[in-house]
Structure 1
Amino acid sequence: MRHAPGEIGLTLDAQGWANLDDLMKCAARHGTQLTLPLIRDVVASNDKQRFALDEAGQRIRANQGHSVNVDLGLAPQTPPEVLYHGTASRFVEQIRQHGLRPQSRQQVHLSAERATAAAVGSRHGKPVVLLVRAGDMARQGCKFYCADNGVWLADEVPAEFINVPETT
């Protein structure tokens, strides 16, 4: 849903929504049996709240993290003064030079909680938690968005707004 829905024949609309019947049919054609109760359970129980159902319960989409072009329709919001980004220590020097870029995604993902960022960073190697001066960025005109699952999004984070811990 976030990266290559077309590989199974699934079509997303401009906002990233897919019809549940279409998802179940496409998955079945590729050897995975999905049911409405299973999909609803995944949406409700996923610890990162990656997915959402529409109000009618007929469509599903990822809350953020797409590498395919979608418009989630999120309005700009005022971020907390500080946000965090978890990464692996091997990426720190590149981040110091170039800031945070979305890489294969549409936007940079940030967290309001340091512990969440640490968990994200640990998935990629020795974790480093970067402090992002989001309030300063916003005052400079940078826009922030908050996905339905609480992940903060920015188009990029320039290096001058990133504090790297000394112990990296």
Structure 2
Amino acid sequence: MISEKENQRISKFLSLVLRHQPESIGIRLDENGWVDPELLIFKMNQHGFNMSFEILDYVVATNNKKRFAYNESRTLIRASQGHSVNIELGYESKKPPAILYHGTAERFSESILKTGLDKQSRQHVHLSIDVEIAISVGKRHGKPVIFEVASEAMFADGFVFYLSENKVWLTDHVPVKYLKLGFTEIKG
């Protein structure tokens, strides 16, 4: 269909447009982050991409992090989470597992140990049930470190958690008292 390199290029551009800068190609996301895929394809073609529904479907289906999702009728598409634009994803609060993980670069660990995990420019702090995924996230920013999050204790204390369509756990803030600095690499 398309090369892996082109798939990656389109996926990165979709992340930029659907999570952070829809205006960069002249689209507007609705209040829940959705956009008509026909319009998205048209606008991407105007900006140097050779897009079609088939290519968009392929990119959505093969994205290893499941960053994009269609609505049930496949008439709308959006990013699953990670937005810096203000949208309401419509997720319902869920009880998280006892422990979740957050991967980041080692250079941020001292600050995190002072202030906790903040969402910064995004709408939520992203947490994973899988240590390997947390490590790969941390590696994107430098030498990885992993924080264990006492998510069950947070939930019991009234903190709200959501589970995104692509199985990323989301919350607004993780205070220091719920954090434990884990390990920086997988042994073995």
TM-score category by the smaller chain?
over 0.9
1:66-77 → structure 2 map (5 Å cutoff): 66-77=83-94
Q: CA deviation at 1:120?
A: 0.5
Give the alignment of 1:88-127 within 5 angstroms: 88-127=105-144
Is the aligned partner of 1:158 residue 2:186?
no
Unaligned runs of 5+ in 2: 1-17
Distance in 1 between residues matched to 2:110 and 2:41, nearest whole Å? 43
1:15 maps to what in 2?
Answer: 32
**How far 1:33 moved relative to its partner?**
2.1
Q: Tell me how large the CA RMSD over aligned residues is.
A: 1.3
Counterpart residue number, 1:128:
145
Distance of 2:100 and 2:57 partners within structure 1: 31
User: What is aligned with 2:96?
Assistant: 79
Q: Is 1:30 the equivalent of 2:47? A: yes
Point out which structure has higher relative CO (alpha carbons under 8 A, 6+ apart).
1
Tell me how far 1:145 sits from its aligned partner.
0.2
Count of matched residue pairs: 168
Per the alignment, residue 3 of structure 2 pairs with none
**Structure 1 stretches (4+) deviating beyond 6 angstroms?**
none
More helix by share: 2
Q: Which residue of 2 aligns with 1:146?
A: 163
SS of the residue 1:17 aligns to: coil
Is the alpha carbon distance of 1:161 and 1:58 closer, same or farther for their aligned partners in structure 2, counting shifts above 3 Å?
Answer: same
When normalised by structure 2's length, the TM-score is 0.87
Q: Cα deviation per residue 1:137-161 (whole Å; 9 max; x = unaligned)?
A: 0010000000010000000101110
Match for residue 51 of structure 1?
Answer: 68
Unaligned runs of 5+ in 1: none
Residues 42-75 of structure 1 show CA distances to partners (whole Å, capped at 9, x for unaligned) of 1111000000011111211000000001111000
Change (3 A) 1:167 1:124: closer
Q: When the two structures are superposed, what TM-score results if normalisation uses the length of structure 1?
A: 0.97
Amino acid of the structure 2 residue aligned with 1:92: S
Distance (Å, rounded) in 2 between the aligned partners of 1:167 and 1:68: 31
Q: In the superposition, relative to structure 1, how do residues 95 and 138 fare at CA in structure 2: closer, same or farther (>3 Å)?
A: same
Deviations 1:74-129 (A, max 9, x none): 00000000000000100000000000001111100000011110110011100001
Q: Pick closer, same or farther for the CA change 1:98–1:59 going to 2, 3 Å.
A: same
Does residue 64 (structure 1) correspond to residue 81 (structure 2)? The answer is yes
Higher mean alpha-carbon deviation, 19-28 vs 150-159, is at 19-28
Identity of aligned residues (%): 45
| 1:167 Cα deviation from its structure 2 partner | 7.1
